[in-house]
A and B are shown apart, each in its own frame.
Chain A
Amino acid sequence: MDKAQIQHLGMLARIKLSEQEVDTLATEISSILEYVSTINSLVDVEAGEQAVGPVHNVFREDQITTPSGTHTADMLAAMPETDGAFLKVKKILDQSH
């Protein structure tokens, strides 16, 4: 794992990494990957279909279970920046295009 790969992973995971973090993580993640790669010698079947255990996620019906507005005030209070009943974020569309 080289530094460029670590920086790319940081970008994918939306974490800005310092030069020093990139250095340390490159070494540490390489050694962890080397360790976990030992499963390749154990599992000789082609990975693909895995048996899911008897317990697995299922989706419930998409129905509203609480009256509208029950949690609104609490949710708004937790937001870092609001404008009335709206969550405020940086603009993502550049108007010059």
Chain B
Amino acid sequence: MKTATELRAAYLSGETTPEEIAQESLAVIAATDSDIHAFLDVYDDVAVQAAKAAELIKEKGEQAPTLCGVPIALKENILVKGKRATASSKILDNYICSYDATIITKLKEAGAVLVGGTNLDEFAMGSSTENSAYGPTKNPHDTTRVPGGSSGGSAAAVAMGAVPVAIGTDTGGSIRQPASYCGLVGLKPTYGAVSRHGLMAMGSSLDQAGTLTNSVADAALVYRIMAGKDPLDMTTIDDTTYPKVEVKEKYRIGVPRDFLREGIDPDVMEAFEHNLEALAKAGHEIVDISLPLFEKGLAAYYIVMPAEVSSNLARFDGIRYGVRAEGESLLDVYQNSRAEGLGTEVKRRILLGTYVLSAGYYDAFYGKAETLRSMMRAELAEVYKTVDIITTPTAPTPAFTFGAQGDPLSMYKQDIFTVPVNLTGVPAISIPMGTVERDGKALPVGVQYIAPHAGEERLFDLGIRTYDQR
């Protein structure tokens, strides 16, 4: 499918219409989604939305809102009034949203056609979309492999050509890693850049919504619509929160060499080295940097995140909404509803979080992890005095086959390069950096660029020059 930017031009020139594109989107879903399983729900009013968008284009021409008639898929942990949002959990199987997330209000105002809710690891906990209560999503590049996760359905929806843009959420890499596995551009904005109001909270100090697209220009386009201060999310930032991050002609790009010495697939590392050469050839300066604390981020993440998960998921108890399991007493109702409604990975993280927050352990775990986070922020600030952008591979491997990451810890290590970004709150983007061959198939792999806080425009600038204009 055309990019959002191309679609707008095609609508304005009369080459095609929002109705035709909506039909194309639904046709792709009908033809391929029984195999891929990117979508949990396809909305029943897509044609109505498209007709409205077509009217607007006819009436207003160039004055029509930016995303008028652009089909967008949404990770199903984002609330859309009147639609189902399961978060891929049985406990929310029957949950119909009573309000719009702030980003949904903004996308609607921008004229987007909301196509449906996409599959995810239950409550966004996982790196493969295998943890969905509704079955896994397959990678459109090789259906024996996972699309990554947790925004695997959103990534697959774009990769299979059903939509040009999908929205995901990223708590520890859940947009960037599936973007890497599916050959897409994945943006995790600065913490607070995009409102979290109406997203189902996982790790409240880490969560951000962002985009999965085929071009960096589309990521920028949609990001600029979604970003901004929101009175309904007090952690949202404005232009004055952080110092301005300048766009430059040539960038000094830092490579944390010590971090890249082990645990990375050799083919991924080769693609990464090629990318560094291309950057140098384009005139950017590549320098080695040292980020010793960044390397320990994963351990801090698996304390902070489960702690926040155990608090945030306490609300899913079968009382006020969702699926209730019966029991003798109120306590039984709680325990049975959560036993039946929540999946294994979710239970594991809730228990882990309950443990690290319990009296006597709080200081040893959560307290220390938060201290480490502060130290990581300081370390990063020091490094950004000497470089403009930091780069790593997005994930240590290409997409793996179903069931390949047998134990929880090996799955967690998929996120080694992405979690430090969430812990420190900086923005990062994953951009395709080529393919590696596995079993005769070309599997995409991504490079991650990390900017200082509020440095999205710098990421877009580098990305558009190195990828869109390749």
Contact = CB atoms under 8 A, between A and B. Distances in A.
Contact of A28 (B332, B355, B370, B408): B408
B367 A48 contact: yes
A32 to B, nearest CB: 6
Interface stretch (B181-189, B209-217, B270-278, B313-321): B313-321
Given A36-B299, A90-B330, A21 B317 contact: no
B302 A32 contact: yes
B409 A14 contact: no
Given A50-B370, A53-B425, A54-B242, A16 B318 contact: no
Interface string A72-86: 001101111100000
Contacts of B333: 89-90
A35 B352 CA distance: 12
Interface stretch (B91-99, B115-123, B441-449): B91-99
B192 interface: yes
Q: B interface, by DSSP: helix, strand, loop or mixed?
A: helix
A12 interface: yes
Contacts, number: 159
A26 to B, nearest CB: 10
Contacts of A54: 241-242
B403 interface: no
Contact of B234 (A17, A60, A75, A90): A60
Nearest to A45: B371
A49 B284 CA distance: 40
A51 interface: yes
Contact of A15 (B296, B300, B338): B338
B377 interface: yes
Nearest to A43: B368
B283 to A, nearest CB: 33
Nearest to B355: A9
A35 B368 contact: no
A36 B303 contact: yes
Interface string A2-35: 0000100110111111100100010011011101
B264 interface: no
Nearest to B237: A55
A54 B367 CA distance: 18
Given A55-B191, A55-B425, A80-B324, A43 B334 contact: no
Contacts of B372: 39, 42-43
Given A21-B347, A55-B241, A80 B318 contact: yes
A17 B231 CA distance: 40
A14 B425 contact: no
Interface string B345-383: 001101110111010000111011111111101000000
Interface string B84-103: 00000000000110110000
B321 A79 contact: yes
A36 B302 contact: yes
Determine chain A's interface SS by DSSP, over half rule.
Answer: loop
Chain B interface extent, by class: 35 or more
A28 B407 CA distance: 8
Chain A interface residue bracket vs B: 35 or more
Contact of B339 (A16, A31, A91): A16
Given A13-B310, A87-B319, A47 B363 contact: yes
A92 interface: yes
Contacts of A9: 351, 354-355, 358
Contacts of B364: 40, 47
A78 B374 contact: no
A93 to B, nearest CB: 10
A64 interface: no
A71 interface: yes
Interface of B: 95-96, 98-99, 191-192, 231, 234-235, 237, 241-242, 293, 296, 299-300, 302-303, 310, 314, 317-324, 327-336, 338-339, 342, 344, 347-348, 350-352, 354-356, 358, 363-365, 367-375, 377, 407-409, 412, 425
24 contacts: A15-B342, A15-B351, A17-B347, A31-B407, A32-B352, A32-B409, A39-B299, A39-B300, A50-B370, A50-B373, A55-B425, A57-B235, A60-B231, A60-B234, A71-B99, A74-B98, A75-B321, A78-B95, A78-B96, A78-B322, A80-B319, A87-B320, A89-B333, A90-B333
